[in-house]
Structure formats: structure tokens, C-alpha cells
């Protein structure tokens, strides 16, 4: 469990990082918090001839709140995001997802952007990004661009980032009104990758009707998923009339979950139903009663 040889680069700016990536092409990998990449390299399951460490780019560590969105620098460590008052007040779903990430040691090193760029389909931050329709900001040799979360995650461990691009920030929209947010996931042990999980945001309108709802699923496919059919069915329904289990079934209906030693696809779907129902119930409860 010792990594194969590699060259280590530590750029001080995003521009320098982009130049280094461009220079080495496919032979280069970006290192953020290293909580996934480093163990994979130690097992020699991942290799890089050139490792480009973003750890010293201080400009990528920030949380900035605006009226309708919150920007989080990609190298903000998860633990810092988890205790940030702006995130807690304006993007509660993100704040509530972070404690589910690994253990505190992992959250102290792992970054918000690193989790997205790694694109593990059972990861929490990508699921929150997809659920809230966040935009991911990338810088390459061309102009910086904003990528909608739905288009960012393309497959397991794969994103739409170009080889010379660095993920620099996430922009989370703020949900106004009588909104509630919840994360529910099931893992074998506290801190393990989720077998299945759901993140949910909901806004109640007139007559306790569901004005707006977003349900995201993790661990149930190659990318974090949105439960579009379930969202359509729930929207406009009076909260009290909602059959959350039925919504849960709708949420997982079209999923194609992975199979591994911990869970079969069928088992993941079964747990997914329960997690979606439980997350929706909790989010509705918060929207109704604060």
C-alpha cells in the first residue's frame, strides 16, 4: 500500500494549476483534500504521473452569501462548510448533509469541491448540488464557465470537467419562503458510504400545498439522481394528503442501482424508498412548523 512514483506540483494560483494540468494532460490529476485519491493511489488503484495539489490556493477557500445564492470556494474543507453560519442559514440542506460524510477526520481534510470532482455516486455534496440545481464553476485555459449540477456528473467518478479545468466554486441557490430540508441515508456503519440515501427540499404555499419540491437520491445510480416523477406527483398536493411511501416508490422506480458485497440493486431500491419517504416527511415537517 505505497503509491507508485509521481511528480508533485503545488501551484499557488488557479491559473498556475490550469497551466500545469494543460502541460501534462491525461498524466496529471488534481489533488484536493486527498480523502479518496490518496488511499486509491496507495492501493495503486489510481495512478498519476503528475499530482497537482490545490491545497495552497487560499483564494479557493471561502463562503460568500448573496440574496439569492451562496458561493462556496471549491477548496473549502467540509468541516468548515458544515459549521459556516451563512450556509446554515441560507443552504441548510448542505449543512445537514455534511455530517454524513465519512468521519470528522475526513471532513477536516476533504473539500466541498473535491467531493464533487471525485463524483462518487453515493457522496452527499453532489446529491445536494443536484437537488438544489447548484451551478459548478470551472476554470480552464478558456473563459471560466458555469456548469449546471445536472450536467456536471456524467457517470461514476466522471464529470464534464475538461482535463485542463479546475473546479473553483459551487453556487447554491437559496430557497425562500416556508421551506424545509432534510437528509436521510442508510449506511452499514456511521460514516460509511451510503447504501442509499435521499436529500429533500420542499416549500409550502397556500393551503399547505407543496409549492416546490426537490428530491435527490444518492447511491442509487451512476450519478446522483433527481426523482423527477416523484417531484411532479408531489407538487401541488396538500401536504396532509401526501402518501410519502408512494412518493418514495416513484422516486426509485426508474433507478438502476449498483450491486456490491453490501447491497443488491433491489435492496438499495427498497432502502431508497424508505429514505426518500423519511426525508420528505422530515422536510415537510420543518416547512410546516419551522
Partner 1 sequence: MTVAGRYVGQSVRRQEDPRLLTGHGRYVDDIVVPGMLHAAFVRSSVPHGLLRGVDTEAARALPGVAAVLTAAELHPGLHPMWQTMMGQDAPAAPFRPLADADVRYVGDPIALVVVESRYIAEDAAELVVADIEPLPPVLDTSAALGDTASLVHPELGSNLAGELPAAGSPELDAAFASAALVATETFHQHRYACVPMETRGLVAQWDPAGEQLTVWAATQGPHEFRAICGRVLGLPEPRIRVIMGDVGGGFGQKMFPMREEIAVVAATRQLGRPVKWIEDRNENLLGGGHAREEQMTVSVAADDAGHFTGVRVEQLENVGAYPFPGNGSTAMAGSMIFPGPYRIPALSYAARAVYTTTCGRCAYRGPWMMETVAREQMVDLLARRLGMDPLELRRRNVITAEDLPFTTASGMVYETVSPAQTLEQAAELIGYDAFRREQAAERERGRLLGIGLALYIEPSQSFGPLGTDGATVRLEPDGRVALVMGTASHGQSLETTMAQVVAEHLGCDLGDITFVQGDTAYVPYGAGTGGSRSAVVAAGAARQAALALRERIVTLAAAVLEAAPSDLEVASSAVGVRGDPASALPFAKLAGLAYFGHAALPEGAPVALEVTERFKAPPFTFSNACHAATVEVDATTGQVSILRYVVSEDCGVMINPMVVEGQIAGGVLQGIGGVLYEHMVYDGDGNPLTTTFLDYLLPTAAEAPAIEYGHVETASRLPGGAKGMGEGGAIASPPALANAINDALAPLGIHLTRQPMSPAAIVAALTP
Residues that bind partner 1 (CB under 8 A): 1-5, 43-44, 186, 188-193, 195, 260-264, 267, 270-271, 274
- The least CB distance from residue 98 to partner 1, in Å, is 17
Q: Which is nearer to partner 1, 44 or 83 (CB)?
A: 44
**Taking the complex as a whole, how short is the minimal distance between the CB of residue 188 and partner 1, in angstroms?**
5
Instruction: To the nearest 10°, report the CA torsion of 115, 117, 122, 128.
Output: 70
Nearest to 215 by CA among 205, 224, 206: 224
Q: Which cell is 166 given?
A: 479546475
- Shortest Å, Cβ 274 to partner 1: 5
Instruction: Produce one character per residue of 178-190: b if its CB has 16 or more CB atoms within 10 Å, e if not.
Output: bbbbbbbbbbeee
CB of 24 vs partner 1, minimal distance in Å: 20
Question: Given the complex with partner 1, which of 171 and 268 has the nearer CB atom?
Answer: 268
Chain CA centroid to CA 214, Å: 14
DSSP 237-265: SBGGG--HHHHHHHHHTT------SS--H
- From the list 201, 213, 220, the residue with the least C-alpha distance to 238 is 213
User: Least distance from C-beta 283 to partner 1, angstroms?
Assistant: 19
Query: Judged by CB, which is closer to partner 1: 143, or 189?
Result: 189
The Cα–Cα gap between 74 and 115 comes to 9
State in angstroms the smallest separation of the CB of 249 from partner 1: 13
List CB contacts of 38: < 8 A, sequence separation 6 or more: 3, 31
**Minimum CB distance to partner 1 smaller for 55 or for 265:** 265
Nearest to 145 by CA among 130, 165, 172: 165
Least distance in Å: CB of 134 to partner 1?
A: 27
Report the residue number, 67 or 261, with the smaller CB distance to partner 1.
261
Q: Write the DSSP symbol of residue 152.
A: H
Q: No. of H helices and E strands in the chain?
A: 12, 14
> Of 29 and 278, which has the nearer Cβ to partner 1?
278
Task: Give the integer Cα–Cα distance in Å for 258 and 242.
Answer: 29
Beta carbon nearer to partner 1, 190 or 289: 190
Amino acid at each position: 500500500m505505497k503509491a507508485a512514483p509521481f511528480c508533485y506540483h503545488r501551484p499557488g494560483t488557479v491559473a498556475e494549476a490550469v497551466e500545469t494540468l494543460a502541460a501534462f494532460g491525461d498524466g496529471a490529476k488534481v489533488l484536493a483534500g486527498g480523502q479518496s485519491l490518496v488511499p486509491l493511489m496507495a492501493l495503486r488503484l489510481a495512478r498519476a504521473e503528475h499530482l497537482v495539489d490545490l491545497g495552497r490556493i487560499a483564494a479557493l477557500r471561502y463562503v460568500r452569501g448573496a440574496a439569492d445564492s451562496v458561493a462556496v470556494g471549491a477548496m473549502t474543507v467540509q468541516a468548515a462548510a458544515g459549521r459556516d453560519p451563512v450556509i446554515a442559514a441560507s443552504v441548510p440542506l448542505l449543512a445537514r448533509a455534511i455530517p454524513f460524510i465519512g468521519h470528522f477526520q475526513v471532513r477536516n481534510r476533504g473539500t466541498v469541491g473535491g467531493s464533487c470532482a471525485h463524483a462518487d455516486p453515493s457522496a452527499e455534496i453532489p446529491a445536494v448540488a443536484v437537488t438544489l440545481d447548484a451551478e459548478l464553476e470551472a476554470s480552464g485555459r478558456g473563459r471560466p464557465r458555469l456548469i449546471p449540477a445536472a450536467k456536471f456528473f456524467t457517470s461514476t467518478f466522471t464529470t464534464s470537467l475538461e482535463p485542463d479545468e479546475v473546479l473553483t466554486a459551487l453556487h447554491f441557490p437559496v430557497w425562500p419562503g416556508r421551506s424545509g430540508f432534510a437528509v436521510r441515508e442508510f449506511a452499514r456503519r456511521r460514516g460509511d458510504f451510503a447504501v442509499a440515501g435521499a436529500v429533500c427540499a420542499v416549500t409550502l404555499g397556500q393551503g399547505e400545498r407543496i409549492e416546490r419540491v426537490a428530491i435527490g437520491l444518492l447511491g442509487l445510480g451512476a450519478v446522483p439522481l433527481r426523482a423527477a416523477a416523484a417531484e411532479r406527483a408531489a407538487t401541488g398536493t396538500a401536504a396532509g394528503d401526501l402518501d410519502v411511501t408512494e412518493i418514495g416508490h416513484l422516486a426509485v422506480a426508474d433507478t438502476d442501482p449498483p450491486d456490491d458485497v453490501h447491497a443488491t440493486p433491489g435492496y438499495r431500491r427498497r432502502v431508497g424508498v424508505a429514505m426518500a419517504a423519511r426525508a420528505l416527511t422530515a422536510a415537510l415537517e420543518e416547512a410546516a412548523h419551522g
